[in-house]
């Protein structure tokens, strides 16, 4: 396992407790997570999760999280050994198609496709993070911290989906995104989308089955599986 990047207590380029708390809230609200299920995480992904947990512990204790490195250097290191990508891979052609794909994957316990339909590490590094407001002042949150937050939230959501609905035939009857998509660089981010769906032996349900959805050049992927079911 790669050693998580070390953060220091300092007064230079610091993220105060208030800023870090706001950053965490923004991460969960805008990104609402992404990644592989726990059993398939890479060492780098696990290191990112460990780093995020460490930063949260420091902030909770009233400390100041600081990196001696500029964001550009954090990003360079985060991208090391990652393949360069310029488009979303294994994406769906519409939001509706993506949600239908999710329903099929959960119905058949297809964790391979569940992992394929969410933003991966290289897509995050090259297509989303550079334009994200979280990479800019006043947050300037390092990519490994954001990715760790995304992984943790999405892992939990994926487990909830599979544990509660896995193996059931899911029928989606309505999809609604109450707000217009946010423009983030070349991307559109659809947030707080709600799905009305049913499964055998269960009442009609409605709520958030997933986190935000990223759209780029007419291709769609989930940014994570954080949900409220």
pLDDT tens digits, 93-115: 999 999 999 999 999 999 999 99
Average of pLDDT values for 202-213? Answer: 91
CA distance 180 to 29: 15
What are the sequence ranges of the domains in the chain? 14-222
Q: Which has the closest alpha carbon to 51: 31, 28, 78, 76?
A: 78
CA distance 56 to 61: 9
What does the DSSP assignment read for 4-31? PPP-B--SSSEE-HHHHHHHHHHIIIII
More confident residue, 44 or 150: 150
CB 67 within 8 A of CB 8: yes
User: According to the model, what pLDDT value does residue 41 have?
Assistant: 53
Phi, psi of 203 (to 5 degrees): -70, 165
pLDDT 10s digits, 15-29: 445 555 555 555 555
Q: Is a pLDDT exceeding 90 seen at residue 40?
A: no
CB 193 within 8 A of CB 214: no
Q: In what order do the strands lie in the sheet with 182-184?
A: 182-184, 187-190, 213-216, 219-222
Quick one: angle between helices 143-165 and 71-79, nearest 10? 50
User: According to the model, what pLDDT value does residue 67 have?
Assistant: 59
Please tell me the pTM assigned to this model.
Answer: 0.75
Q: Pairing relation of β-strands 14-15 and 65-66?
A: antiparallel
Residue 92 CA: distances (Å) to CA of 125, 204, 214: 20, 26, 11
Share of the chain above pLDDT 90, in %: 61
Q: Which has the closest alpha carbon to 40: 162, 155, 182?
A: 155
Peptide bond into 222 cis (omega under 30): no
pLDDT 10s digits, 149-187: 998 999 999 999 999 999 999 999 999 999 999 999 999
Q: Is 213 left (phi over 0), alpha (psi -120 to 50) or beta?
A: beta
Model confidence band, residue 203 (pLDDT cutoffs 50, 70, 90): confident
């Amino acid at each position: 396992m790669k050693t998580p990047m070390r953060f220091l207590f300092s007064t230079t380029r610091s993220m105060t407790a208030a800023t870090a708390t706001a950053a965490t809230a923004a991460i969960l609200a805008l990104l609402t997570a992404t990644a592989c299920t726990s059993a398939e995480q890479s060492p780098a992904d696990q290191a990112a999760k460990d780093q995020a947990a460490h930063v949260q512990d420091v902030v909770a204790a009233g400390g100041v999280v600081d990196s001696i490195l500029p964001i550009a250097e954090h990003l360079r290191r985060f991208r090391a050994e990652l393949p360069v990508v310029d488009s979303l891979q294994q994406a769906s052609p519409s939001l509706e198609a993506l949600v239908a794909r999710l329903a099929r994957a959960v119905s058949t316990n297809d964790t391979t496709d569940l992992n394929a339909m969410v933003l991966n590490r290289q897509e995050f590094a090259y297509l989303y993070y550079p334009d994200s407001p979280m990479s800019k002042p006043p947050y300037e949150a390092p990519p490994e911290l954001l990715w760790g937050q995304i992984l943790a939230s999405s892992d939990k959501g994926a487990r909830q989906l599979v544990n509660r609905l896995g193996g059931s035939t899911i029928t989606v009857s309505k999809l609604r995104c109450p707000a217009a998509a946010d423009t983030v660089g070349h991307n559109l981010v659809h947030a707080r989308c709600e799905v009305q769906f049913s499964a055998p032996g269960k009442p009609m349900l409605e709520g958030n089955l997933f986190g935000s959805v990223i759209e780029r050049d007419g291709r769609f992927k989930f940014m994570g599986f954080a949900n409220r079911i």
